[in-house]
């Protein structure tokens, strides 16, 4: 039986054969397997690709040290925690570590010299009733780029590009970040409406943090940033201004495109904590399934409370929920 592989498969295969970075080869191999038609004609190809993926994972996870021994590394993977995973990226000395320190429980090394951050460092940011994971990363420049960053950026739910308004040449540094990432086939974009036609590319939803705003006394640099990125959401911040940090937290939450749903037992008051987190336009059924699959299967109807709704309004399983709704399930 013919394999009937799509045209983009052959282009991606050529890219895989040329690539030498094992992390990028692993990503390309996984993408090849994903787009490969699944039928008897590709059984051998599927098995061969799965073998390559297994070997590449072993190579990436346990790279050889000098002398032949192996040492594990988790730099290109950070276990997801909380309601979403946010990656902080930017040029040297842009203030990523100071933001992580101000917003989370992490304790990054903060220094006034470039490249002080050498490894990814996660921390948990509290936003109202949920926690969101932030990851500080080594800086990106034309002279320096850690290869493992590609996987971290691709796997994150949202990127925050941190710009230093205190640096007169900040736009040149920011453009260098974009150039390096585009060379790695990562495109920062204000919205991701659909998957790219070319599977080698990753379009990553991004908001921009215009950091150290008080050092831009005239506002000219912020204006230049807005002119350079007219379609992006830009949040001016300073670690000296709690209100600006709260605006960044809100922008991150909204950038995740999620809603928080609170549940209550019949006849009891609601506790506004530990919400069920769903994508925007999540339904009552989605919320029930998120609690437990069996619970979702037994659901008959629900009563809801929320903005623009009647208190205790009875709804069906396909009812679309809004952020902050309170749901009482009936099974």
- Ordered structural domains, the chain, with CATH: 7-61 (no CATH), 85-255 (3.40.50.300), 258-330 (3.10.20.30)
Residue owning tokens 């205790």:
312
Structure tokens at 192: 């991701």
Residues 261 and 293 sit within 8 Å (Cβ to Cβ) = no
**Angle formed by the axes of helices 22-35 and 43-61, to 10°?**
150
Cα angle: 108, vertex 110, 111; to 5 degrees: 150
**Angle formed by the axes of helices 170-183 and 220-228, to 10°?**
20
Q: What is the pLDDT of residue 2?
A: 65
Q: What is the pLDDT of residue 15?
A: 83
pLDDT by 10s per residue, the chain, length 331: 567 788 888 888 888 888 877 878 888 888 888 888 888 888 888 888 899 888 888 887 765 444 444 443 446 678 889 999 999 999 999 999 999 999 998 776 555 555 556 688 999 999 999 999 999 999 999 999 988 898 899 999 999 999 999 999 999 999 999 999 999 889 999 999 877 777 778 899 999 999 999 999 999 999 999 999 999 999 999 999 999 999 999 999 999 999 999 999 998 888 888 999 999 999 999 999 998 888 888 899 999 999 888 899 999 999 999 999 999 999 8
Residue owning tokens 């989370």:
104
In sequence order, the β-bridge partners of residue 162 are 209
Tally Cβ neighbours within 10 Å of residue 191.
12
Q: What is the pLDDT of residue 13?
A: 86
Residues 175 and 127 sit within 8 Å (Cβ to Cβ) = no
Q: What is the pLDDT of residue 208?
A: 98
Residues 218 and 171 sit within 8 Å (Cβ to Cβ) = no
Q: What is the pLDDT of residue 66?
A: 46
Report how far residue 90's alpha carbon sits from residue 329's, in angstroms, rounded to the nearest whole number: 45
Predicted TM-score (pTM) of this structure: 0.80
Q: What is the pLDDT of residue 115?
A: 58
């Amino acid at each position: 039986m013919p394999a009937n592989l799509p045209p983009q498969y052959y282009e991606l295969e050529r890219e895989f054969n040329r690539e030498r970075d094992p992390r990028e080869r692993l990503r390309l191999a996984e993408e090849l397997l994903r787009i490969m038609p699944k039928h008897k004609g590709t059984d051998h190809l599927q098995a061969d690709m799965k073998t390559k993926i297994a070997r590449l994972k072993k190579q990436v996870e346990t790279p050889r040290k000098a002398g032949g021994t192996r040492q594990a590394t988790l730099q290109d993977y950070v276990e997801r925690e909380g309601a979403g995973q946010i990656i902080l990226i930017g040029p040297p000395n842009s203030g990523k570590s100071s933001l992580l320190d101000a917003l989370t429980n992490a304790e990054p090394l903060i220094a006034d010299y470039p490249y002080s951050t050498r490894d990814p460092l996660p921390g948990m940011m509290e936003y109202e009733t949920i926690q969101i994971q932030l990851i500080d990363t080594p800086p990106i420049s034309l002279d320096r780029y850690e290869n493992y960053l590609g996987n971290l950026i691709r796997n994150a739910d949202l990127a925050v590009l941190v710009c230093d308004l205190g640096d007169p040449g900040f736009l040149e540094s920011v453009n260098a970040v974009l150039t390096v990432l585009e060379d790695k086939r990562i495109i920062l974009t204000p919205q991701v409406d659909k998957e790219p036609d070319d599977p080698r590319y990753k379009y990553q939803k991004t908001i921009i943090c215009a950091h150290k705003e008080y050092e831009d006394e005239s506002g000219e640099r912020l204006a230049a940033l807005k002119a350079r990125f007219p379609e992006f959401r830009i949040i001016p911040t300073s670690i000296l201004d709690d209100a600006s940090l709260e605006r960044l937290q809100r922008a991150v939450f909204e950038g995740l495109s999620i809603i928080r749903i609170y549940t209550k037992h019949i006849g009891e008051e609601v506790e506004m904590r530990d919400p069920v987190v769903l994508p925007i336009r999540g339904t009552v059924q989605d919320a029930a399934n998120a609690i437990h699959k069996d619970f979702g299967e037994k659901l008959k109807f629900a009563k809801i409370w929320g903005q623009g709704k009647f208190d205790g309004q009875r709804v069906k399983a396909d009812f679309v929920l809004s952020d902050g709704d309170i749901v009482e399930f009936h099974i």
